[in-house]
A and B are shown apart, each in its own frame.
Chain A
Amino acid sequence: MTFLHPLYLIGLSLVVVPIIIHLWFQKRLKTVRFSTLKFLKKSEAKRFGWLKFREILILVLRCLFVALIFLSLARPQLKSRLFTANRLASVCFIVDNSYSMAYGNNLQLAKEMAQKVLAFYSTNAEFCVLPLCAMAERGEKAFWTTKNSASELIKNIKLSYQRSSIREALVQFPDEKPAYSTEYLYIGDGQEINFKDFATEHTENVSIYWLKIPTGGNVSITNVSLKDPIALPFDNYELHVTVSNFSQHIWNGIVNLRAQDYYVEKACEVQPNKYINVAFELPISIHRGIVEVHDDSLPIDNVYFFSKIVPRKLNVLIVGSDEFLRVGLNPPGALRVPFHVETVDNISTVDLRKYNVVLLNGLTDISVNDNMRLTHFLNREVTGILCFLGPQVGDNLKYFIKQCCTIETQILPKGYVTLDWVDYEHPVFTVFRGSTTLKNIKFYHFYNLTADTGIIATLSGNYPLIVNSTNLTVIATQFTPRTTDIMYKAAFVPLLYRLISSLVYRIHDREAYIGMRTQMPTRIKAPTGEYLDPQRMFLIPGFYTTDNETIGVNVDPHEGNLNVLGNERAKILQIHPIDIEKNFRGGDVTNTLLSLALFVILLELLLLLLH
């Protein structure tokens, strides 16, 4: 224990005053010579015992009161495990100013803690202050400074919407060699995201201490997504809002969605540490808006600006045989179909700019020119090519397909093979999860494709059936009765729809997070009305607009999830957590002692009243 004003400890010698007064009063007492105290002692033994005890207790309490008062005046400080007075070191403060610190007054608390820690160090120590989410450009380096300057720097730290990590923050560590042994102090809520890409190699030969700022409950919108991002809607589409409750209490509240003149709200209940998906059905004309949850202590993640890309009617060109594909994509008699389908035998004469999707169905080969045209076609937005391999595949076609996979030998199995595996996580197959629709489809004739990635379905014998690369998809066979019976199965049409749609709609939303840098060449207007220069990052949440699209910018939902780094993980990373409750709040025991002194006085009064 240390004392801020140790001179007051001299006053402890005054503890003898009550004893002296007690003895003096004893001496001043009139002596009465009484015949015998025998009967008094006997009859009042208990009472005299109590009175004697009370007298001693009162004396002790009085001494204790004097001692407590002078101890309080001396301002005792419990000795911290880590921090001792006048510590000499080169100290690097990493103060968490990410937006999760907006919870309660956590940032203020972190700054106060930093100031308290600072007070422990000697004035000769040197300091550098690194906000976790830098306010300056990352390229700028921090510098070693004095105690007073460090205090000012800590005071000036402001909440940031940017996403960052300790690793990124340490990039700013001063180049200048530290004068003393370096101590790293991270002061923050210790969300796991802050330790992203942080490995033990960063803590070699250094000690990182983590001063824990307690986190509390939080409810946030962690995601807003299309229910089925590649489903082609006719009138309405469904939006899923994920509301996560990171607190320890059940949350009951309202989730509302605002978009143009459209407003809808839904009441919901979220259990502790759970999340729910709240579904909103929206007209396809509305693709951006704001979703909000109401009443939570960390408001910044209660608002979500969404801007979605909703699938719309596509122009499809079938090159080659259109048997079954045309019927599948545009069934006769259907009133509303999501595709406008045209068929040609030769691609050379077609203006590809009119189409979103080209289906190369069983082509033996393409010309070099077509190869270039198709490659150019793929570079356009909202385009894709679906290639069904026919009986023969020419070199140009093989070359074109090579950006996706390599075509090996043709496989003619004895009998047939069936679908062996499909990637149900891929948007094409999500709707088939849990169903038997894709079972027992027979394949008699297909190519052995070789690909490292992008395989989303395989046949028995581990032969890739569908290989997907960006907006080019290769199917190992044609959908004809000679090669497969898939076109007679219920899965045929939906699978075809989803294969085409997944080619085109690879990006489902135009959303970004604070701290991201835009690469868009066009001018972007911020919610404040100012234009962002290219390469500039998004700094505040809201809608940012370009000439033809809207970008919804939000704070990173990971920031609000309050997933604190566990002690085990901290141990692995060689980060030493320090509980501020134990090390600082309980440090000054003056108030405790004063409360105790008050209690002592009350106890004495009570004893005096008791006979």
Chain B
Amino acid sequence: MKEHKRYLDPEVLARLSRLDLKARLIVEGFLSGLHASPYKGFSQEFADYRQYMPGDEPKRIDWKVFGRRDRLYVKEYQEETNLRAYLLLDKSGSMQYGGTLNKLEYAKYLTASLAYLLFKQKDSVGIATFDTTINEIILPSSKRVNFMRILETIENSRPGGETSLSNVLSELAQKMKRRGLVILISDLFDEPERVITSLRSFRCRKHEVLVFQILDEDEYKFPFGESALFRDLEDDTEMVINPKVIRESYRKKFTELLNYYRQRLLESYVDHEIIFTNTSYDKALSSYLQKRGRLF
């Protein structure tokens, strides 16, 4: 168990090369820590019996057991839903920021893990990668082939240009005809108002939305020392900045930005989780499962 758990550490995971392996290790490492199966619910796969209680639907009574035991029991099935999950992976330039494990790498592992988790759950899972525009899109399916294509897409994702999150999300919202769970993995470095508006458009189409905001700790703490030439990863603009001078102000503004997202997404019934690249993957996966638990 311990062996599996350690793969939840991003740094350890980074040393592995195969993405499917990584995803599997993350998910299984995560699942091994849970006491009960998270998959209970409606499914065709039998799970357990329990005594009939008033209120249970009579059609769920197993009459064969009644014949053998002369007691009323109802069947419980392992969950198997028709959940359609859309994984939206932001691979804009700003996502390549980070040390040994940059934000995009982290996001890719997280996306793969979620895909694996969904696949294991027999849910339909699709993916869309984007930067300024949508780069690739795979429609949701629960087939293994689809899952492999998703992994391949994630693996091949390279950092792109400038973020145009709001436009991309609006476009994706148009394309997703059937309602489902939209999981956005991005740093949300775009105009906050427009991002919020775009996410609301998902909600308007009855989608459930879960946002993982991937950040590097340095982006929050701004720990740089002496004056340096800062180069924007998205548009290559340069600026000489003395971090000491602007640190306080920067942190204040950044906190305000995060608070703004938190507040406005809460108001829009969008789950929002800030994930730093040095934190374990189980936090993100827990958030997903909680969200799913609330849905079914």
Residues of A bordering B, CB below 8 Å: 26, 29-41, 43-44, 47-48, 51, 55, 611
Contacts and interface: CB of A to CB of B under 8 A. Distances in A.
B232 A38 contact: yes
A298 to B, nearest CB: 63
Contact of A36 (B233, B245, B249): B233
B239 A48 contact: yes
Contacts of B163: 36
B14 to A, nearest CB: 19
B253 A43 contact: yes
* Pairs of residues from A and B, 8 with the lowest C-beta to C-beta distance, nearest first: A35-B97, A35-B94, A43-B253, A30-B228, A37-B232, A29-B229, A36-B94, A32-B228
Contacts of A34: 97, 230-233
A21 to B, nearest CB: 15
Nearest to B245: A611
24 contacts: A29-B240, A30-B228, A30-B229, A31-B230, A31-B238, A32-B228, A34-B230, A34-B231, A34-B232, A34-B233, A35-B97, A35-B189, A36-B234, A37-B230, A38-B232, A38-B234, A39-B254, A39-B257, A40-B250, A43-B253, A44-B246, A44-B250, A44-B253, A51-B245
Nearest to B236: A33
Contacts of B282: none
A376 B121 CA distance: 159
Interface in B100-129: 103
A36 B240 CA distance: 14
A223 B95 CA distance: 100
Interface in B138-193: 163, 187, 189
A48 B257 CA distance: 19
Contact of A44 (B233, B240, B249): B249
Contacts of A33: 97, 231, 233
A36 B94 CA distance: 6
Contacts of B254: 39
A32 B231 contact: yes
A26 B234 CA distance: 22
B233 A26 contact: no
Contacts of A40: 230, 239, 241, 246, 250
A611 to B, nearest CB: 5
Given A35-B219, A44-B250, A26 B232 contact: no
Question: How extensive is the interface on chain B, given as a class?
Answer: 20 to 34
Name the residue in B97, B189, B224, B232 with the highest tally of chain A Cβ atoms < 10 Å from its Cβ: B232
A456 B187 CA distance: 117
A361 to B, nearest CB: 114
Given A38-B232, A44-B249, A47-B246, A30 B226 contact: yes
Nearest to A40: B250
A34 B229 CA distance: 10
A557 to B, nearest CB: 73
B216 interface: yes
A38 B249 CA distance: 15
A29 B231 contact: no
Interface of B: 93-95, 97, 103, 163, 187, 189, 216, 219, 224, 226-234, 237-242, 245-246, 249-250, 253-254, 257
A36 B216 CA distance: 12
Given A31-B228, A36-B93, 18 more contacts: A26-B240, A30-B228, A31-B230, A32-B229, A32-B231, A34-B231, A35-B94, A35-B233, A36-B94, A36-B233, A36-B234, A37-B239, A38-B232, A39-B189, A40-B239, A40-B250, A44-B249, A44-B253
Contacts of B224: 32
A33 B187 CA distance: 16
Contacts of B187: 35
A55 B230 CA distance: 16
A41 B232 CA distance: 11
A41 B226 CA distance: 19
Contacts of A35: 94-95, 97, 103, 187, 189, 216, 219, 233-234
A31 B231 contact: yes
A38 B192 CA distance: 12
A44 B242 CA distance: 13
Nearest to B257: A39
Contact of B237 (A29, A37, A55): A37
B266 to A, nearest CB: 21
A48 B187 CA distance: 24
A30 B230 CA distance: 8
Contacts of A41: 237, 239
A374 to B, nearest CB: 112
Name the residue in B219, B234, B239, B250 with the highest tally of chain A Cβ atoms < 10 Å from its Cβ: B239
Contacts of B245: 51, 611
Name the residue in A34, A35, A48, A51 with the highest tally of chain B Cβ atoms < 10 Å from its Cβ: A35
A607 to B, nearest CB: 13
Nearest to B234: A36
Nearest to B215: A35
A25 B291 CA distance: 52
Contacts of A39: 189, 253-254, 257
A434 to B, nearest CB: 87
Nearest to B239: A37
B187 to A, nearest CB: 7
A263 B93 CA distance: 105
A594 B257 CA distance: 51
A394 B172 CA distance: 148
Nearest to B253: A43
Nearest to B226: A30
A55 to B, nearest CB: 7
B231 A36 contact: no
Given A44-B250, A48-B239, A36 B229 contact: no
B293 to A, nearest CB: 33
A41 B238 CA distance: 11
Nearest to B232: A37
Nearest to A28: B229
Given A29-B228, A37-B239, A47 B189 contact: no
Nearest to A29: B229
A469 to B, nearest CB: 101
A34 B231 CA distance: 6
B130 to A, nearest CB: 16
A47 B253 CA distance: 13
Contacts of A30: 226, 228-229
A38 B253 CA distance: 12
Contacts of A36: 93-94, 163, 189, 232-234
Nearest to B191: A38
Given A33-B97, A35-B94, A44-B250, A55 B240 contact: yes
A36 B187 CA distance: 10
Contact of B227 (A29, A38, A44, A47): A29
A611 B244 CA distance: 10
A38 B219 CA distance: 12
A40 B242 CA distance: 12
A38 B242 CA distance: 16
A485 B226 CA distance: 117
A31 B229 CA distance: 5
B50 to A, nearest CB: 52
A302 B239 CA distance: 76
A198 B226 CA distance: 79
Given A35-B97, A35-B187, A41-B239, A26 B229 contact: yes
A236 to B, nearest CB: 90
Nearest to B189: A36
A34 B187 CA distance: 13
